[in-house]
Structure 1
Amino acid sequence: MALKREGRVILLEALTPLHPGAGRGAGHVDLPVQRDEFDFPAVWATSLKGALKSTLLLSCDALSSELDRVACRRRVLLVFGPETDEAHEYASAVSFLDARLVAIPARSLRGVWAYVTSPHLLRYLLRYLEAAGRSTAGELGKLLEEVKQAAAGGGAVASTDRVLVGDNAVLNEMALPAKTHDAAVRLASLFPGEVGKLVGEQGLVVVGDDVVGEVVRRSLLVQTRVRLDYRRKTVASGGLWEEEYVPQFTIFTTVLFCTGVKAAKERAERFAENDVKKIKLQVASEEAKMKEELQKKYIGMISALERPDAVCGEVFKAGDGSQIRSLVFGGKETVGKGLASVVTWET
C-alpha cells in the first residue's frame, strides 16, 4: 500500500540579509553561505527544519499552564520527530527539501532594483511544483519555454519597461539587451501572496543561464567583521574575517511533505510517563492524575494527526494557535540577520 502524503510548496522571502552558513570556506570569503551543487545560494533542509522545530518548541513556553506547555511540546515532537532518548519510538511526520534560489534582487539603473531569474532557477520551482502535485506546474512549464527562447543569445526579457534603459536592462552594472515580453508578465503574476505583490511592483527580469551566475555573484553581500582588543583598541589576533550574505528580498522555494504521525497510540502511556516528570507538582499524589490527563491528550493528538493534511496544518502553528508568518534561521540573528517570511503556494 502506497504511503499517503501531502506536499506543499513554500516560498521564503528574505526580510533581512540571510546567512545560512556553510562553515569555514576555502575561497576568499571566510564564512560563505550554503550553496547547491551548481554553486547557487541555497538553504539546506536541515537548517529549515531545525529552525522551525526550535521556533515551535519555544512558542510552547509562552503558555501559562505547565501541563499545556508539556502537551504543546509533545505535539511538536509528534510532528517533527522525537528527541534523542525517544528516537527509537517513532520518526518525523514531516520532511523538507532544500530551499532553492528562485529570484534574487539586482541593482538596476532604473527603479533601484529588480528581481532576476533564469530558466535554470525557474526549473527549480517547476520541479518542486511537480513534486508537490500543483496544477500551476503546467502553466509554469509553458512560460519557461517561452522566456527561454525569448532570452536566448545573451538577451533578457522583463515584465515591465520600468527597468529598461533604451534597449537594455542594466543590472548589477551589467548591460544586457532586453525587452518586455508577455510571458515575463504572466510569469511574474504566478507568484502568490505578498511575494507576488513585490515581484509585480519591482519587476521580474529573466536572463540567460550563461549570465545568471555572474548576476547572482554580484548580488551577494560580503561584510568584513572586526573583533577588537578593547584594552589596546586594535584588532584582536584572528579577529578580522569576511561573512557572506544573501540580500534582502531574495526568494527561495522548498517543499514540505507530510504523512500521518508515526507514533502508535499504544505509546501514549509511555509518553505521558516521561513527560509528567517534567512537571513540578505541589503534591506527589497529583502525579497519577496528571499522567492520566496527559495520556488522554496524547491519544487525542495522535488520532487527530493521522491524516497528512492535518499534520501539514500543524507545521506553522505556534503554541497559542497562531500561524507563524516569519522564521529566523541561519547565523547572525543578534545583529539583524536571518529573518524570512513564509508563504505557502496555494492551489
Structure 2
Amino acid sequence: MFQQHAALFLYAVSPVHMGAGQAIGVIDNPIQRERHTGHPCFAGSGIKGALRHNFEAIGGDPKLIAPLFGPESNSGELHAGAISFGDAQLVALPVRSLKGGYVYATCPQALARAQRLLTLSGAAASWPALTVEPGHCLLANPTLLSGDKLHLEAFEYTAKVSQQLPALSADLAARALPADPAYAFFADKLKTDLVVLSDTDFGYFAEHAMLVEPHVRIDADTGTAAEGGLFYTENLPPESLLIAPLMASQTRTSRKKDEKEGWENDAKEVLIKLTNLITAKPLLQLGGDATTGRGLVLAKVVEG
C-alpha cells in the first residue's frame, strides 16, 4: 500500500518516441496511445525504467536503486520497490497556429482528468468546468484571432475569449514548469496561449498532429538505401505536456533485520529523496532513439 502520493508533470523539449511495439497502420513505429481516448501516453513502466536507468546520472546514490525501484532480477533478492509510477496522460498538445506560431491545445476532458489526478495526489486544483462545442474554442489571448476566428493547421474555429481561462492556465503553468528563468518564455506562453477545443476536435489533433519521420536503412556494401529499408517513426512533438501519478511507500527488503544496511526510509522520506533529485536535475530521457536526441523531457513533482 502506498502512503504518499504526488503528481509528475512531463514537458517534452524534444520529440519523444515511447514505442507501442506493434503497428497495424501505415506508421511502422507508432507511439503508445490510450485505448479509450486515442491520446498519446507514456506507460508508467517506461517512466520508472528510464528513471532507474538514469538515476546515478541525475545525482542519485546507487545504493538507493534497489530500495526505490526494486532489485535486479538476478540479484538473489525479492522485494518490491518503494516508488511506483502510473501512466502519463496528455494535458496539452502544441498545434500550429496562424498567429503566435503555435498554441497549447487542450480540451475539457484532458483538463478534467488532470484535475482529478491532482486531487487524488493531494494537490487539488480549483479549475472551472468548461464546455466547448465542436467547431468552437475558448482562449485567453485575443491577439491569436483573425476577426472572431482561430486558425489551427488547416481548420477554422469560432473563438470566444474566456474570463475563466487565464487563472486556470496560470495555475497550470506554475504547476507544470520549473520556476526558472530558462523556462519563463514557455511558462508565459502556456499562460496566455492555452486554447480549449472540444473533446472531438482535440481528439483529431491528438491522432493526426504527431511528428512522423521517414527513416532509410542503408546497405553497408553499396552505401545506398537497402531494399525494403524505408520505415516511418511516430513521435510526440516537443512542447507537449503530460501528467502521471507518482506513489511512494516505505522501503522494503528481503534481508533479516540484523542484516539491513541502514537505508530504510518511510514513504515521506522516499518521496522527498526522489523529489529533490528531480528538482535539482529535471531533464530526463524517456523512450527510444536517445542517440538522435529524442526523448528529452522536463520533469516536475507536484505534492499536496
Assess same fold via TM > 0.5: yes
Cα pair distance change 1:268/1:249, threshold 3 Å: farther
For 2:175 and 2:87, locate their aligned partners in 1 and report how far apart those are by CA, in whole Å: 22
Matches within 5 A, 1:151-166: 151-166=132-147
SS in 2 for 1:345: strand
- 2:181 is matched with none
Answer whether contact 1:30 1:242 (CA < 8 A) is retained: yes
Matches within 5 A, 1:58-69: none
Cα pair distance change 1:4/1:102, threshold 3 Å: closer
Cα pair distance change 1:119/1:87, threshold 3 Å: farther
Q: Letter of the aligned partner of 1:19 in structure 2?
A: H
Answer whether contact 2:68 2:251 (CA < 8 A) is retained: yes
Candidates 285, 288, 300, aligned match of 1:343: 300
Candidates 198, 214, 232, aligned match of 1:208: 198
The Cα of 1:265 is off from its aligned counterpart by: 6.8
Larger % of helix: which?
1
- 2:167 is matched with 186
The Cα of 1:190 is off from its aligned counterpart by: 1.3
Q: Letter of the aligned partner of 1:56 in structure 2?
A: F
SS in 2 for 1:21: coil
- 2:19 is matched with 21
Considering Cα pairs closer than 8 Å and 6+ residues apart, tell me whether 1 or 2 has the greater RCO.
2
Q: Deviations over 1:77-133 (max 9, x none)?
A: 101111113575321111111000000000000000010000111122022112212
Deviates more, 1:84-93 or 1:176-185: 84-93
Cα RMSD of the aligned pairs, angstroms, is 2.3
Q: Deviations over 1:124-171 (max 9, x none)?
A: 2022112212232xx12xx1x2x21xx235310002113211111111
The Cα of 1:181 is off from its aligned counterpart by: 0.5
- 2:122 is matched with 133
Deviates more, 1:156-165 or 1:309-318: 309-318
Candidates 201, 215, 222, aligned match of 1:232: 222
The Cα of 1:219 is off from its aligned counterpart by: 2.1
Aligned-residue sequence identity (percent) comes to 27
Q: Letter of the aligned partner of 2:5 in structure 1?
A: G
Q: How many pairs were matched up?
A: 294
For 1:14 and 1:26, locate their aligned partners in 2 and report how far apart those are by CA, in whole Å: 26
For 2:258 and 2:284, locate their aligned partners in 1 and report how far apart those are by CA, in whole Å: 31
With the length of structure 1 as denominator, give the TM-score of the two structures. Answer: 0.78
Q: Letter of the aligned partner of 1:176 in structure 2?
A: Y
Q: Letter of the aligned partner of 2:171 in structure 1?
A: L
Cα pair distance change 1:21/1:267, threshold 3 Å: farther
Answer whether contact 2:9 2:176 (CA < 8 A) is retained: no
2:222 is the alignment partner of 1:221: no
Deviates more, 1:93-102 or 1:259-268: 259-268
The Cα of 1:316 is off from its aligned counterpart by: 4.8
**Structure possessing the higher radius of gyration over alpha carbons:** 1
For 1:162 and 1:93, locate their aligned partners in 2 and report how far apart those are by CA, in whole Å: 48
- 1:56 is matched with 55
Matches within 5 A, 1:69-80: 72-80=61-69
- 1:41 is matched with 40
- 1:108 is matched with 97
Unaligned ranges ≥5, structure 2: 179-183
Q: Letter of the aligned partner of 1:175 in structure 2?
A: E
For 1:127 and 1:242, locate their aligned partners in 2 and report how far apart those are by CA, in whole Å: 35
Cα pair distance change 1:336/1:268, threshold 3 Å: farther
The Cα of 1:263 is off from its aligned counterpart by: 2.1
Q: Deviations over 1:156-193 (max 9, x none)?
A: 00021132111111112211111210121121011225
2:157 is the alignment partner of 1:176: yes
With the length of structure 2 as denominator, give the TM-score of the two structures. Answer: 0.89
For 2:234 and 2:218, locate their aligned partners in 1 and report how far apart those are by CA, in whole Å: 20
For 1:117 and 1:36, locate their aligned partners in 2 and report how far apart those are by CA, in whole Å: 16
